[in-house]
């Protein structure tokens, strides 16, 4: 089993000493994200998110299937995360590492269990037909803070996605091709985002946002807070690590709320831009009686 290369003692101390002098290697303030980029693909539901060198591709797909026996009124919604050897040699296919398990659990709790997607709306015929929506998360390049980037990618991909329109007449289910009817967006309830803090120092007194990979290697603990812009916590995960003062954690939560609002506004803006771009030569524009003089 290949193991991740650990940073040398020199690297370790260099990063830590710099942090003690309030410096990060890339010159950012402690509570600032790297430049966030978000590019929508040609297809609906494909999005590429990058935080500095961390790059994540999320792709949404939907197919018709039979609902689970124990949940006949709910559609199926799954998030699949894959860390392939392409990301780093220490990741192997079909052998989930701890990073991967924790990442997929976090996404699961943040997006799925918080009810961001209305799964009941995915059900077409109770107990017989429903949509199965699946988001595949591919980590293309790993330079720290996978969780936040992956969460943004998943939420963006799901909100960008359009599923084929359907109708039921007299028990007959019709699925329309995009040419027949414009595909419809998913029924989306709220947009949760993850904000991950990394802690440093003996008492975990220094807290960093958006740690890079080398910073993640030397951290003594981390805490991922998922919230939506209404200030609802969807999930908090501080899974062990050096104990951190409770008051400091509350402070982290408050900063996280600000960041989540930023993410939310950023995504709304990007989605609006994309919608405008797609709309330009669309069918609706062609049929419009208005002419732009």
- What does the binding site for other proteins look like in residue numbers (CB under 8 A)? 1, 3, 95-98, 101-102, 104-105, 108-109, 113-115, 203-204, 220-221, 223, 227, 231-247, 249-250, 253-254, 257
Nearest CB to other proteins, comparing residues 132 and 242:
242
Of 50 and 235, CB closest to other proteins: 235
User: Are the beta carbons of 230 and 264 closer than 8 angstroms?
Assistant: no
**Least distance in Å: CB of 150 to other proteins?**
15
CB of 10 to other proteins, least distance (A): 16
- Rounded to a whole number, what is the distance in angstroms from the first to the last CA of the chain? 66
When the beta carbons of 26 and 232 are compared against other proteins, the nearer one is 232
Q: CA 18 to CA 218: how far, in whole Å?
A: 12
Question: Smaller CB distance to other proteins: residue 97 or 166?
Answer: 97
> Smaller CB distance to other proteins: residue 97 or 214?
97
124 near 168, Cβ under 8 Å?
yes
Minimum distance between the CB of residue 38 and other proteins, rounded to whole angstroms? Answer: 25
SS3 label, residue 153: helix
- E strand or H helix that includes residue 58: strand 54-65
C-beta separation of 223 from 238 below 8 A = yes
Could you give phi then psi for residue 278, rounded to 5 degrees?
-70, -30
| Closest C-alpha among 209, 235, 232 to residue 222 | 209
Distance of alpha carbon 178 from alpha carbon 125, whole angstroms: 21
Biggest CA pair distance of the chain: 72
Question: What are the two backbone dihedrals, phi and then psi, of residue 112, each rounded to the nearest 5 degrees?
Answer: -80, -50
Report the nearest approach of other proteins to the CB of residue 228 (Å). Answer: 9
Minimum Å distance from CB 114 to other proteins?
A: 5
Contact assessment for residue 135 and residue 150, using Cβ atoms and an 8 Å cutoff: no
Q: Tell the smallest beta-carbon distance from residue 72 to other proteins (Å).
A: 18
Of residues 95 and 293, the one with the C-beta less far from other proteins: 95
Distance of closest approach, residue 289 Cβ to other proteins, in angstroms:
44
Q: How far is CA 266 from the centre of its chain?
A: 14
**46 or 117: CB nearest other proteins:** 117
């Amino acid at each position: 089993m290949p193991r991740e290369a650990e940073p040398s003692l020199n690297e370790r101390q260099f990063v830590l000493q710099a942090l003690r002098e309030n410096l990060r290697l890339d010159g950012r303030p402690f509570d600032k994200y790297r430049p966030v980029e978000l590019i929508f693909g040609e297809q609906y539901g494909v999005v590429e998110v990058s935080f500095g060198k961390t790059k994540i591709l999320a792709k949404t797909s939907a197919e018709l299937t039979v609902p689970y026996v124990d949940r006949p009124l709910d559609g199926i919604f799954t998030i699949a995360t894959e860390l392939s050897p392409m990301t780093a040699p220490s990741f192997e296919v079909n052998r989930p590492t701890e990073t991967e398990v924790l990442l997929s659990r976090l996404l699961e709790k943040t997006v799925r269990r918080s009810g961001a997607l209305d799964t009941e709306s995915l059900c077409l015929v109770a107990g017989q037909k429903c949509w199965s929506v699946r988001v595949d998360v591919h980590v293309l390049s790993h330079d720290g803070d996978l969780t936040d980037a992956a969460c943004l990618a998943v939420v963006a991909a799901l909100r960008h996605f359009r599923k084929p329109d359907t109708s039921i007449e007299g028990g007959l289910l019709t699925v329309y091709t995009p040419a027949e009817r414009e595909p419809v967006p998913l029924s989306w309830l709220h947009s949760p985002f993850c904000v991950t803090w990394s802690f440093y120092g003996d008492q975990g007194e220094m807290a960093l946002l958006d740690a890079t990979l080398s910073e993640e290697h030397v951290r003594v603990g981390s805490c991922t807070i998922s919230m939506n812009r209404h200030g609802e916590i969807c999930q908090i995960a501080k899974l062990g690590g050096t104990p951190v003062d409770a008051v400091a954690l509350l402070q982290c939560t408050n900063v996280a709320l600000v960041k989540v609002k930023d993410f939310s506004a950023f995504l709304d803006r990007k989605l609006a831009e994309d919608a405008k771009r797609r709309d330009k030569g669309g069918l609706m524009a062609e049929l419009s009686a208005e002419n732009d003089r």
